[in-house]
Amino acid sequence: MNAADIAAQVRAALAEDIGSGDLTADLIPATNRAEATVIAREPAVICGVAWFDEVFRQIDPSIRIDWRVRDGERVSADQLLCTLHGPSRALLSGERTALNFLQTLSGTASLAKRYAEAVAGTGATVLDTRKTLPGLRLAQKYAVRCGGCSNHRIGLYDAILIKENHIMAAGSITAAVTQARALHPGIRIEVEVETAEELAEAVACTPDVIMLDNHDVPRMREAVAFVAGRIPLEASGNISLDTIRAYAETGVDYISVGGLTKDVRALDLSMRFRSR
């Protein structure tokens, strides 16, 4: 993420929430100032500091935020994350949007940490997918990295993933891979396979990665043995925290998990104000 992207996301979120003006904040005298604290109500991995800061920078640059933690840092329940000082109206107007970014990205990072720890020591790398919240893809993928997992392709433009429907439309795996190399030389090519026959054809095409879709653990082991390290393998399809360790122990190189960014539960945060 760069500053311009973050600023644009925050600008859109503030327009969505504040619109033509914060009617309730107008009840507070313009001269009032306040101190606010943000506390984590549960253990978590923090992510979203830059978005939180940008919310208040856009509303009122005079607001001062003193952080006690950084992105990627683990926190415990009831731990103080930051203290804010500034005009009461501005603090109140930015509260919800700032917390929305912080709690959502921290939720993503916290879940990613659980997945990373689940495969620790196996050699497998956990990847995210394109199943992200609209408008927050880069932010969520950043949060995934804060939690200790890694990124798959960012979008449809930076890598080629040949899936079932692409294979059907092209006529075969071989035809799809051949066309991909002709049209986009040098671009990473991944092929999804569902059967042993498709796996053999994909290996013959030597793509950069082969994705084993919806294989159970015994079939995954068979595929790993067949490929024997010739091409990196990725496991995908309905893999959860309960099952990911077993998949990682088959010897696959990557495991992609849509739930990292799709099934996010926001971190429980609390912001409390004190007038000054």
Among the listed residues 33, 68, 96, 219, the single catalytic one is 96
Among the listed residues 192, 198, 234, 253, the single catalytic one is 192
What letter would DSSP give residue 67?
Answer: E
User: Does the annotation count 96 as an active-site position?
Assistant: yes
Among the listed residues 54, 198, 213, 253, the single catalytic one is 213
User: Does the annotation count 113 as an active-site position?
Assistant: no
> What does 188-252 look like in DSSP terms, one character per residue?
-EEEEE-SHHHHHHHHHH--SEEEEET--HHHHHHHHHHHTTSS-EEEESS--TTTHHHHHTTT-
Contact status, residue 116 vs residue 126, Cβ threshold 8 Å: yes
Residues paired with residue 256 on neighbouring β-strands, in sequence order: 127, 236
Give the full edge-to-edge strand order of the sheet including 209-213.
Answer: 125-127, 254-256, 233-236, 209-213, 189-193, 160-162
Among the listed residues 163, 181, 219, 262, the single catalytic one is 163
Pairing of strands 160-162, 209-213: unpaired
SS3 266: coil
Contact status, residue 55 vs residue 93, Cβ threshold 8 Å: no
Among the listed residues 131, 137, 221, 245, the single catalytic one is 131
CA dist 146 to 53, 55, 72, 74, 199, Å?
A: 18, 21, 5, 10, 33
Contacts of 268 (CB under 8 A, 6+ apart): 40, 41, 42, 103
Pairing of strands 33-40, 79-87: antiparallel
User: Does the annotation count 141 as an active-site position?
Assistant: no
SS3 272: strand
Catalytic residues: 96, 131, 163, 192, 213
